[in-house]
Amino acid sequence: MIFVTGGAGFIGANFVLEWLEQRDEPVLNLDKLTYAGNLHNLESLQGDARHIFVQGDIGDRALLERLLAEHRPRAIINFAAESHVDRTIHGPEDIIQTNVVGTFRLLEAVRQHWQRLAAQEQQAFRFLHVSTDEVYGTLAPDAPAFTETHNVEPNSPYSASKAASDHLVRAWHHTYGLPVLTTNCSNNYGPLHFPEKLIPLMIVNALAGKPLPIYGDGMQVRDWLYVRDHCRAIARVLDAGRLGEVYNIGGWNEKPNIDIAHTVCALLDELRPRADGQSYRQQITYVTDRPGHDRRYAIDAQKIERELGWKPAETFETGIRKTVQWYLDNPEWVAQVQSGSYRDWVAKQYGRVND
Ligand code: NAD
Ligand code: DAU
């Protein structure tokens, strides 16, 4: 089996769903269920013996040791993190605890487990760390996109914590020989995205008649990738990536934030027009910029394409249309997330979430 951390969050849940749609290999899923963890995301796996869910913290050494000994996974895929830049600006303590200390404890527990394996199992073992393009810092408008050898120059508490975890993973490979892989991906979007992030926030606020807040001048550029494309890239790196290597993953799809807002509004105008006949664009509001806001990210994804044959399957046009349609089709998911009732549902539905 594989051992996924943070598998009740946006990308982790999409990964678990994609994995079990494609393969029969079971998934052990450890998630702390912070505000970002939502077991509703995995509702379709209820009763599926291939999915074992455990509520817990990647920083809990005793729990990790027990799970590793009991389930003997052949690979770890570490998604667990505090992932929201704005939240981590307001309170950076949690990101240090989870993204840095948590990754360290996970690495240590996995290293001890791995060192005790038989030679053949040791060779086949993998630790895949899921990271972000934000570790590379910001790009000038005409600068080439980030390659894997770009300087690491994080500018926010979040990106600094992710860069720190990437460095730990690298060091555990060089010093202890742990068979690691690291992926640095650009901005994801798609179903199950928590509506604190730009795209889902635009969709749910537009439908609720609320303002669509655009930071600063809205000309910050991000490189958007459909979440299932990211999940397939991770699976590909796990299967065939070279040990100790970093793989950048991106959508070749740079867009300023204001264009994203316009695209979402245009799709909603088409699919769910406002009762007053006006465009959702009327709701766009420019607000104070994020402190230290990085101006541009862009990923050069040639290495993963050349070495592993991965390319995104979705274009932005197909991916964003699917995404907007998913939010229109799943108002109860949005309502539960907004009211916080998805957390009560966890207790009711999963009474015993701890292993
Ligand atoms: P998310 O915030 O939606 O989900 C994070 C999950 O981790 C949640 O289910 C949460 O409960 C869990 N978690 C948090 N702290 C934990 C802990 N201490 N122990 C166990 N579980 C814990 O995040 P996401 O957007 O799905 O991102 C997943 C990973 O991908 C993160 O490592 C993030 O840095 C990285 N990433 C995200 C993006 C993006 O665009 N969202 C892009 C590139 C990389
Ligand atoms: O680049 C990868 C990163 O993408 C991941 O590592 C992070 O986990 C993920 O959260 C995301 O970070 P961003 O800060 O780029 O995503 P967010 O959706 O918060 O913001 C996207 C852009 O939109 C950014 O330039 C800030 C802007 N923005 C965001 C929000 C929430 C707005 O203009 N208004 C908003 O209300």
Instruction: For residues 265 and 255, give the distance between their C-alpha atoms in angstroms, rounded to a whole number.
Output: 15
Please give the angle made by the CA atoms of 70, 38 and 133, to the nearest 5 degrees: 90
* Residue 276 CB-density burial (10 A; 0-12 exposed, 13-18 middle, 19+ buried): exposed
Helix 316-329 / helix 198-207 crossing angle, nearest 10 deg: 50
User: Residue 16 is encoded by which pair of tokens?
Assistant: 């678990």
Please give the angle made by the CA atoms of 170, 176 and 181, to the nearest 5 degrees: 35
Query: How many angstroms is it from 172 CA to the middle of ligand 1?
Result: 21
Whether 133 is catalytic is yes
Superfamily of domain 2-189+225-253+293-314: NAD(P)-binding Rossmann-like Domain (3.40.50.720)
pLDDT digits (tens, 9 = 90+) for 33-82: 999 999 999 999 999 999 999 999 999 999 999 999 999 999 999 999 99
Cβ of residue 55 lying under 6 Å from some atom of ligand 1: no
What integer pLDDT is reported at residue 163 of this predicted model?
Answer: 98
Cβ within 8 Å of residue 328, ≥6 positions away: 207, 271, 272
Selecting among 18, 57, 82, 134, the annotated active-site residue is 134
Question: Which ranges constitute the DSSP H helices of 241-281?
Answer: 257-271
Do the strands 254-256 and 221-226 form a parallel or antiparallel pair, or are they unpaired?
Answer: antiparallel
pTM of the complete model beyond 0.95: yes
Cβ of residue 162 lying under 6 Å from some atom of ligand 1: yes
On whether the CB atoms of residues 196 and 87 are closer than 8 A, the answer is yes
271 CB neighbour count, 10 Å cutoff:
11
User: Residue 106 is encoded by which pair of tokens?
Assistant: 């996970």
Query: How many angstroms is it from 20 CA to the middle of ligand 2?
Result: 29
Helix 157-176 / helix 103-115 crossing angle, nearest 10 deg: 20
Please give the angle made by the CA atoms of 127, 32 and 132, to the nearest 5 degrees: 50
pLDDT (tens, 9 = 90+) of the chain, 355 residues, equals 999 999 999 999 999 999 999 999 999 999 999 999 999 999 999 999 999 999 999 999 999 999 999 999 999 999 999 999 999 999 999 999 999 999 999 999 999 999 999 999 999 999 999 999 999 999 999 999 999 999 999 999 999 999 999 999 999 999 999 999 999 999 999 999 999 999 999 999 999 999 999 999 999 999 999 999 999 999 999 999 999 999 999 999 999 999 999 999 999 999 999 999 999 999 999 999 999 999 999 999 999 999 999 999 999 999 999 999 999 999 999 999 998 887 775 566 555 444 3
Query: How many angstroms is it from 256 CA to the middle of ligand 2?
Result: 11
What integer pLDDT is reported at residue 58 of this predicted model?
Answer: 98
What integer pLDDT is reported at residue 349 of this predicted model?
Answer: 52
End-to-end CA distance of the chain: 16
- Nearest-Å Rg of the Cα atoms of the chain is 20
Which ligand is closest in space to the CA of residue 79? 1
Whether 134 is catalytic is yes
Site to substitute for ligand 2 among 89, 129, 222, 229, most atoms within 8 A of C-beta: 222
Could you give the count of Cα atoms lying within 13 Å of 156 in the half-sphere of its Cβ?
A: 25
On whether the CB atoms of residues 238 and 181 are closer than 8 A, the answer is yes
What integer pLDDT is reported at residue 342 of this predicted model?
Answer: 76
Query: How many angstroms is it from 199 CA to the middle of ligand 2?
Result: 9
Query: How many angstroms is it from 273 CA to the middle of ligand 1?
Result: 33
On whether the CB atoms of residues 264 and 206 are closer than 8 A, the answer is yes
Report in angstroms the alpha-carbon separations of 243 from 107, 118, 174, 239, 347. Answer: 16, 19, 11, 11, 40
Nearest alpha-carbon partner for 232 in 38, 30, 14: 14
Looking up tokens 């005409």, which residue turns up? 142
Q: Which is the closest atom of ligand 2 to the Cα of 214? A: 33
Please state the separation of Cα 249 from the chain's center in Å: 12
Which ligand is closest in space to the CA of residue 16? 1
Instruction: For residues 112 and 104, give the distance between their C-alpha atoms in angstroms, rounded to a whole number.
Output: 12
Query: How many angstroms is it from 101 CA to the middle of ligand 1?
Result: 15
Query: How many angstroms is it from 95 CA to the middle of ligand 2?
Result: 16
* Atom 11 in ligand 2: residue holding the nearest Cα: 187
Amino acid in the structure at residue 308: L
Nearest alpha-carbon partner for 162 in 273, 266, 78: 78
Cβ of residue 32 lying under 6 Å from some atom of ligand 1: yes
Selecting among 133, 166, 223, 254, the annotated active-site residue is 133
Which ligand is closest in space to the CA of residue 58? 1
Site to substitute for ligand 1 among 4, 5, 11, 222, most atoms within 8 A of C-beta: 11
Per the DSSP assignment, residues forming a β-bridge with 301 are none
What integer pLDDT is reported at residue 352 of this predicted model?
Answer: 43
Cβ of residue 189 lying under 6 Å from some atom of ligand 2: no
Site to substitute for ligand 1 among 83, 156, 165, most atoms within 8 A of C-beta: 83
What integer pLDDT is reported at residue 238 of this predicted model?
Answer: 99
Cβ within 8 Å of residue 87, ≥6 positions away: 196
Cβ of residue 66 lying under 6 Å from some atom of ligand 2: no
What integer pLDDT is reported at residue 343 of this predicted model?
Answer: 76
User: Residue 64 is encoded by which pair of tokens?
Assistant: 């990790």
Cβ within 8 Å of residue 21, ≥6 positions away: none
Q: Which is the closest atom of ligand 1 to the Cα of 31? A: 21
Cβ within 8 Å of residue 2, ≥6 positions away: 19, 25, 26, 27, 28, 73, 74, 75, 76, 77, 238
What integer pLDDT is reported at residue 223 of this predicted model?
Answer: 98
Instruction: For residues 18 and 14, give the distance between their C-alpha atoms in angstroms, rounded to a whole number.
Output: 6
